[in-house]
């Protein structure tokens, strides 16, 4: 083979992909698959019906608008305006992409150059609690820092970033004139006591802030508003939103990892320190009302969402980026030079599904409310199961994954060829083959420096039907019995 | 610093907050404090403009007949609609991710179907990649193989995305034009008459040439490259160790008994060719956005790397529907009832209808051997009305198209869009029409042309 028929330099080192490797392993139908994050439950019936209806509409079989099918961008604008409390221009401030993965790609290709830096959350074991260390994070920012990728709720940990953590990030972004790419695909999957916060949500003045602010001891509205902004700390003002009756308790855990999408431009990933989990007292400074301020963040943030995760239709591969037009236009340029447009019928069906749920956001039947309730039950079941066999799961406050330290489960790697792989890679391969249960090694989410600190953890996905979870339970219990 | 300034402004305009208005004050303010850093990545330099956006807007005006953008305005064949219906109403797990590199029944049928055409054993896992349309396949190929400074030979007129895709990969486009050989007066020109000069083509290959992009049948011209022409390209690619990326989306739309030949089937070419195809153009379902690349594993592995780092998966149900369409066609292939036989027959009628009609107003169509398109020579108009409104250096064909949309209610695309900037002035006397349209659209076209013709009478 000749020397010229070779790859471009930009893909050097990017050929290995944990998902390709592990999904192949789990493809055996006798394996109980708690690995890859896809539901084996059915999407809601009305979602399936909408897709069925659109197949009959001739014009929907041809190209639609490149940056997003008109009815879909309209629906997205309508939905998200409720959260931003501001108009979102459907043509200029929204881009529909091939899944949230496609949005991440467009954002990075559109905005990140070679040599730009991007703090990537690594993992550093420290004896202190697992929190985002503001000083360490700050030390990773410099004048070359172009963007930070934020993922909340977080995959794989299930962390839901607190107001104060978002504050730290927002402060740094503004200080260093840095972009924020906020991956919020699990935004609806937040469990009791937690609230999904949007770092880019602009200022909102509550209808009657005075009473609540007064409770904090602020003297009067005008000066306290000023103070509110300057302090950027949570006000106890309440906000009615679709997730009614969420208490303001802070979540139980702060550990974080970040899955870095591989890029096709050189990046200098910069690891930041993280720390171990802790359980915070239930009534520590409450998560703030939605829309509490992170001024200056709308103009520098691209927020990414996913139809796959919203409606349990990962195979539709539709996602979106929302942001100010001076950022979105660059993602649109990438789009017109990569895939040009996304599939029409799927976008129309998604728009219709959104309209159904937008109309009933306060209703428990709305999928944005019913799915997290359904999943919380499954989460709790997984937590009990893992605890019952002596594993220490990290209870996620959001998302549909749970990670656990599996060192107490016996595994025999004596016949594993590649002993240089991290423990969790070997463990998952062994478990898949021998116990017919698959998961994903958590060190796959770490960079080289920090892999060793997570190699005892594996990630389980719990957006699975009861029979799948029953099967997993049987395997794990039998395993533990065997060992003792 | 910013934060305090923001706070002060907001304090001063406090009472206006909370009002849901068109552009919030906060938003306006934030935009004045927008980032000082250069925002777009350098790889976007020079590729942000897109001609389709401009002409798309014009085409959406009232009372025009849109013969511009290339997509059918008639329904897909029933079996395609049924295939999609089937894909979305059976196993609900088709709503979830499939294999990253292609839904297995689709890669399997593509491998077996095209294996026959290319005279090649095609492995569904190693030699097939499913992409988001042929557009996505092209992007993936450029990113996988073209390095900064690599040269890419592009044959003009070219489908407009080849140039920005080359640039986005840091490559240098090198252009070579198809040129019409002189025709007899009164005879209509044909796309077969437009040829590459072998010496000129050879001169474009250098040690930096990484790839050549071929498009047959060609958009916008409709040229179907002959075996001899493909052999010329093939021998140069082999001589200079160059990858051939061949865009064959219109491979089934070939008229007058011409034959589409895939360059990958020529001796010595499989190992250096990436063959791009499109379900949208094959089954008249452009909105499904399912495409593919076929090629040797040694090249496809690099495309897979790009794919897993860009879109990772393509939507499942569209792929399932395309698989079913191919399974059906495989059974009917070669028979008169095959869509691949019926479609070109039907569309050839459209082509011929359009050719007759356009001539009635003094447009001179170039008869295409294939594709959805034909170009027409507008030289007579250029000499009769050279001063149409437009920007100072705007090529004539763009100005003519805008005039025609506004005054004659017909939408076409200026062919200079399909040429490199330095060559636009040489080819500014052609416009492209799409005939992949319903009979009613062609009749509406006839009405507009009749009115136009009436206006031409003294």
Can you spell out the DSSP letters for B141-200? HHHHHPPTT-EEEEEES--TTHHHHHHHTT-EEEEEE-EEPP--TTSPPBGGGEE--HHH
Contacts of A23 in chain B (CB under 8 A): 99-100
Residue A12 at interface with chain B, using a CB cutoff of 8 Å: no
How close is the nearest chain A Cα to the Cα of B53, in Å? 9
A185 and A142 together in one domain? yes
Residue A279 lies in a domain: no
Q: Is A270 a domain residue?
A: no
Q: Which comes out higher in pLDDT, residue A216 or A144?
A: A144
Nearest-by-Cβ selection for B39 from A81, A111, A313: A111
**Using CB atoms and an 8 Å cut-off, which of residues 173-212 of chain A contact chain B?**
174, 177, 179, 202-207
Of the two residues B132 and A232, the one the predictor is more confident about is: B132
pLDDT of residue B50: 84
Q: How far apart (Å, rounded) are the C-alpha atoms in residues B133 and A341?
A: 9
Contact assignment for A62 to B286 by CB distance below 8 Å: yes
Res. A119 pLDDT band, cuts 50 70 90: low
Q: Is B93 on the interface with A (CB under 8 A)?
A: yes
Helix (H) or strand (E) holding B247: strand B243-247
pLDDT for residue A252: 17
Residue A2 lies inside a defined structural domain of this protein: no
pLDDT of residue B35: 62
Task: Evaluate if residue A256 carries a pLDDT over 70.
Answer: no
Is the Cβ pair A99, B312 closer than 8 Å?
yes
Minimal Cβ distance to B305: which of A15, A230, A317: A15
The verdict on a CB contact (< 8 Å) between B33 and A40 is no
Nearest to B132 among A98, A171, A333 (CB): A98
Per CB-CB distance under 8 Å, the chain B contacts of A14 are 305, 308-309
| A30-43 average pLDDT score | 93
Q: What does pTM read for this prediction?
A: 0.86
Q: Do A393 and A351 share a structural domain?
A: no
Which of A359, A378, A400 is where one domain is finished?
A359
- Considering only residues 230 to 249 of chain B, which have any Cβ-Cβ distance to chain A shorter than 8 Å? 241-243
Question: Does B77 contact A at CB distance below 8 Å?
Answer: no
pLDDT value, residue B114: 97
**Residue A406: inside a domain, yes or no?**
yes
Q: Is the domain of A54 the same as that of A165?
A: yes
Same domain, A21 and A133: no
Q: Give the contacts of B391 (CB within 8 A, at least 6 positions apart).
A: none
Whether B287 sits inside 8 A of A262 (CB atoms) is no
Highest mean pLDDT of the ranges A29-38, A258-267, A449-458: A29-38
Q: Tell me which residues of chain A, numbers 328 to 357, contact chain B at a CB-CB cutoff of 8 Å.
A: 329-330, 333-334, 336-346
Q: Give the model's pLDDT for residue A193.
A: 86
> For residue A392, what pLDDT is reported?
80
**Is residue A82 located within the same domain as residue A103?**
yes
Chain B from 311 to 370: CB within 8 A of any A CB: 311-318
**Contact at CB, B145 and A314, closer than 8 angstroms:** no
Residue A254 has pLDDT above 80, yes or no: no
Q: Are residues A178 and A306 in the same domain?
A: yes
pLDDT band at A276 (very low <50, low <70, confident <90, very high): very low
Domain boundary among A338, A359, A380: A359
User: What does the pLDDT average to over A451-457?
Assistant: 85
Which regions in chain B score pLDDT beneath 50?
Answer: 1-33
User: Is the CB of A45 inside 8 Å of chain B's CB atoms?
Assistant: no
Query: Are A62 and B73 a contacting pair at CB < 8 A?
Result: yes
Instruction: Answer yes or no: do A192 and A50 share one domain.
Output: yes
Residue A419 contacts B where some CB pair is shorter than 8 Å = no
Evaluate whether residue A253 is within a structural domain. no
Task: Report the CATH number at residue A378.
Answer: 3.90.1150.10
Q: Which helix (H) or strand (E) holds B404?
A: helix B396-408
CB spacing of B97 vs A36 below 8 angstroms: yes
CATH code of the domain containing A163: 3.40.640.10
- The verdict on A184 and A303 lying in the same domain is yes
As a whole number, the mean pLDDT across chain A is 78
Contacting residues of B for A63, CB less than 8 Å apart: 69, 71, 280, 286-287
Whether A42 and chain B come into contact, CB under 8 Å, resolves to yes
pLDDT digits (tens, 9 = 90+) for A123-149: 322 222 556 778 888 998 988 899 999
Show which of A341, A359, A377 is a domain's final residue. A359
In a shared domain, residues A30 and A50: no
| Confidence at A415, pLDDT banded by 50, 70, 90 | confident
* A46 shares contact with chain B (CB less than 8 Å): no
CB atoms within 10 A of CB A384: 11
Query: With an 8 Å Cβ cutoff, is B137 touching chain A?
Result: no
CB contact (8 A) between residue B35 and residue A177: yes
Could you tell me the sign of the dihedral formed by the alpha carbons of B231, B236, B241, B244, in that order? negative
Question: Which residue, among B1, B4, B37, would best test binding to A if mutated, counting the most A CBs under 10 Å from its CB?
Answer: B37
Structure confidence at residue A243 (pLDDT): 32
Give kind and range of the element (H or E) at residue B256: none
Contacts 24+ apart (CB under 8 A), B381-386: B382/B428, B382/B429
- Three-state SS string over chain A comes to CCCCCCCCHHHCCCCCCHHHHHHHHHCCCCCEECCCCCCCCCCCHHHHHHHHHHCCCHHHHCCCCCCCCHHHHHHHHHHHHHHHCCCCCCCCCEEEECHHHHHHHHHHHHHCCCCCEEEEECCCCCCCECCECHHHHHHCCCCCECEEEEECCCCCCCCCCCHHHHHHHHHHHHHCCCEEEEECCCCCCECCCCCCCCCCCCCCCCCCHHHHHHHCCCCCHHHHHHHHHHHCCCCCCCCCCCCCCCCCCCCCCCCCCCCCCCCCCCCEEEEECECECCCCCCCCCCCCCCCCCCCCCHHHEEEEEEHHHHHCCHHHCCEEEECCHHHHHHHHHHHHCCCCCCCHHHHHHHHHHHHHHHCCCCCCCCHHHHHHHHHHHHHHHHHHHHHHCCCEEECCCECCEEEEECCCCCCCCCCCCCCCCCHHHHHHHHHHHHHCEECEEHHHHCCCCCHHHHCCEEEEECCCCHHHHHHHHHHHHHHHHHHC
Per the domain annotation, does A7 fall within a domain?
no
The residues in B 373-392 lying below 8 A from A, measured between CB atoms, are: none
Question: In this complex, which of A11, A206, A346 lies closest to B144 when CB atoms are compared?
Answer: A11
**Searching chain B, which residue's CA lies closest to the CA of residue A265?**
B43
What pLDDT score does A222 carry? 28
Alpha-carbon gap: A3 to the closest alpha carbon of chain B (Å): 8
Q: Shortest Cα distance from A436 to chain B (angstroms)?
A: 20
Using a CB–CB cutoff of 8 Å, tell me whether B178 touches chain A. no
In chain B, residues with a C-beta closer than 8 Å to the C-beta of A95 are: none
Same domain for A50 and A111, yes or no, is yes
Distance CA B64, CA B41 (A): 38
- Please state the domain count of chain A: 2
Cβ–Cβ below 8 Å for A99 and B168: no
Residues of chain A found within 8 Å of residue B271, distances taken between Cβ atoms: 1, 5
| Residue A379, domain extent | 15-37+366-480
CB contact under 8 A, B6 and A296: yes
In terms of pLDDT, which residue wins out, A106 or B7? A106
Q: Is residue A282 part of a domain?
A: no
Res. A269: pLDDT tops 90: no
Please give the residue of chain A at the shortest CA–CA distance from B51.
A336
Domain assignment of residue A336, yes or no? yes
Q: Which of A18, A33, A63, A221 to mutate to test the interface with B (most CBs of B within 10 A)?
A: A63
A326-337 per-position pLDDT tens digit: 999 999 999 999
The nearest CA of chain A is from the CA of B193 a distance in Å of 31
B102 and chain A in contact, CB less than 8 A:
no
Co-location of A81 and A179 in the same domain: yes
Inter-chain touch B20–A296, beta carbons under 8 Å: no
User: Within 10 A of A421 (CB to CB), how many other CB atoms are there?
Assistant: 18
Which chain A residue is nearest to residue B283, measuring alpha carbons? Answer: A61
**Higher pLDDT residue, B401 or A195?**
B401
Beta bridge partners of residue A340, listed in sequence order = none
Predicted confidence at residue B36, as pLDDT, reads: 66
Q: Are residues A412 and A374 in the same domain?
A: yes
pLDDT of residue A2: 57
Question: Is residue A469 pLDDT above 80, yes or no?
Answer: yes
Which residues in chain B are closer than 8 Å to A302, comparing Cβ atoms? Answer: none
Q: What is the average per-residue pLDDT within A305-318?
A: 98
pLDDT for position A447: 79
């Amino acid at each position: 083979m000749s020397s010229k028929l070779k790859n471009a330099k930009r893909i050097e080192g990017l050929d290995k992909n944990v998902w390709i490797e592990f999904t192949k392993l789990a493809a055996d139908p006798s394996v109980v698959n708690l690995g890859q994050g896809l539901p084996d439950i059915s999407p809601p019936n009305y979602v399936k019906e909408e897709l069925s209806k659109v197949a009959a509409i001739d014009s929907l079989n041809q190209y639609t608008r490149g940056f997003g099918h008109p009815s879909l961008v309209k629906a997205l604008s309508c939905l998200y305006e409720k959260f931003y409390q501001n108009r979102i221009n459907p043509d200029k401030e929204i881009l529909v992409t091939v899944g949230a993965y496609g949005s991440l790609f467009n954002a990075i290709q559109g905005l990140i150059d070679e040599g730009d830096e991007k703090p990537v959350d690594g993992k550093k074991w420290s004896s202190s609690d697992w929190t985002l260390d503001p000083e360490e994070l700050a030390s990773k920012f410099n004048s070359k820092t172009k963007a930070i990728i934020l993922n909340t709720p977080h995959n794989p940990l299930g962390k839901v970033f607190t107001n104060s953590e978002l504050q730290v990030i927002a402060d740094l972004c503004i200080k260093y004139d840095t972009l924020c790419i906020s991956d919020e695909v699990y935004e609806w999957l937040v469990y009791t006591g937690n609230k999904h916060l949007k770092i880019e949500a602009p200022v909102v003045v509550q209808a009657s802030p005075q009473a609540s602010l007064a409770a904090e001891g602020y003297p009067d509205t005008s000066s306290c508003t000023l103070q509110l902004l300057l302090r950027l700390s949570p006000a106890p003002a309440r906000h009615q939103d679709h997730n009614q009756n969420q208490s303001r308790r802070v979540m139980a855990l702060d550990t974080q990892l970040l899955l870095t999408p591989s890029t096709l431009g050189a990046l200098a990933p910069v690891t930041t320190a993280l720390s171990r989990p802790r359980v915070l007292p239930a009534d520590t400074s409450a998560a703030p009302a939605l829309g509490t301020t992170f001024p200056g963040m709308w103009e520098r943030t691209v927020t990414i969402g996913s139809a796959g995760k919203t409606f349990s239709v990962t195979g539709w591969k539709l996602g979106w980026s929302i942001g100010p037009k001076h950022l979105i236009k660059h993602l649109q340029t990438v789009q017109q030079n990569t895939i040009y447009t996304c599939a029409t019928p799927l976008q129309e069906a998604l728009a219709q599904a959104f309209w159904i749920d937008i109309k009933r956001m306060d209703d428990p039947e709305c999928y944005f409310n019913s799915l997290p309730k359904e999943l919380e039950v499954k989460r709790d079941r997984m937590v009990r199961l893992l605890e019952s066999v002596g594993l220490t799961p990290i209870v996620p406050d959001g998302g549909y994954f749970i990670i656990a330290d599996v060192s107490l489960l016996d595994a025999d790697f004596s016949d594993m060829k590649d002993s240089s792989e991290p423990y969790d890679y070997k463990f998952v391969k062994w478990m898949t083959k021998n116990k017919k249960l698959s998961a994903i090694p958590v060190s796959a989410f770490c960079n080289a420096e920090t892999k060793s600190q997570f190699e005892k953890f594996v990630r389980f996905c719990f957006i699975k039907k009861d029979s799948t979870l029953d099967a997993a339970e049987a395997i794990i219990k039998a395993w533990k019995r065997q060992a003792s | 610093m910013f934060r305090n300034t923001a706070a002060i402004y907001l304090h001063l305009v406090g009472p206006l907050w909370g009002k849901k208005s068109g552009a919030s004050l906060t938003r306006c303010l934030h935009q004045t404090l927008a980032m000082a850093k250069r925002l777009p990545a350098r790889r976007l330099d020079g590729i942000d403009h897109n001609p389709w956006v401009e002409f798309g807007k014009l085409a959406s005006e009232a009372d025009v007949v849109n013969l511009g953008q290339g997509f059918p305005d008639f329904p897909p064949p029933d079996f395609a609609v049924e295939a999609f219906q089937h894909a979305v109403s059976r196993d609900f797990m088709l709503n979830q991710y499939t294999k990253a590199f292609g839904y297995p029944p689709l890669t399997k049928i593509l491998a077996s179907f095209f294996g026959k055409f290319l005279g090649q054993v095609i492995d569904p896992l190693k030699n097939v990649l499913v992409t988001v349309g042929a557009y996505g396949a092209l992007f993936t190929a450029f990113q996988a193989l073209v390095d900064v400074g690599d040269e890419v030979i592009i044959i003009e007129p070219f489908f407009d995305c080849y140039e920005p895709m080359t640039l986005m990969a840091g490559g240098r486009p090198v252009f070579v034009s198809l040129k019409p050989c002189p025709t007899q007066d009164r005879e209509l020109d044909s796309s077969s008459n437009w040829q590459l000069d072998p010496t000129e083509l050879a001169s474009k290959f250098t040690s930096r040439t990484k790839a050549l992009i071929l498009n047959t049948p060609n958009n916008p011209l409709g040229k179907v490259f002959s075996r001899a022409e493909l052999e010329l390209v093939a021998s140069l690619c082999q001589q200079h160790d160059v990858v051939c990326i061949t865009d064959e989306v219109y491979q089934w739309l070939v008229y007058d008994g011409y034959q589409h030949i895939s360059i990958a089937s020529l001796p010595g070419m499989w190992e250096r060719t990436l063959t791009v195809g499109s379900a949208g153009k094959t089954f008249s379902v452009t909105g499904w956005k399912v495409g593919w690349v076929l090629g040797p594993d040694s090249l496809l592995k690099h495309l897979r790397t790009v794919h897993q780092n860009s879109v990772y998966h393509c939507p499942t149900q569209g792929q399932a529907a395309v698989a079913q369409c191919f399974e059906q066609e495989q059974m009917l292939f070669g028979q008169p009832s095959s869509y691949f036989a019926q479609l070109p027959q039907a569309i050839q009628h459209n082509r011929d209808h359009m050719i007759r009609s356009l001539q009635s107003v003094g447009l001179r169509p170039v008869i295409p051997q294939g594709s959805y398109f034909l170009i027409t020579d507008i030289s007579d108009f250029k000499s009769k009305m050279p001063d149409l409104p437009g920007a100072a250096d705007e090529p004539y064909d763009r100005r003519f198209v805008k005039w025609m949309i506004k005054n004659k209610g017909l939408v076409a695309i200026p062919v200079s869009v399909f040429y490199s900037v330095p060559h636009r002035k040489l080819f500014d006397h052609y416009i492209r029409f799409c005939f992949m349209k319903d009979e009613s659209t062609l009749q509406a076209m006839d009405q507009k042309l009749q009115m136009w013709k009436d206006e031409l009478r003294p």
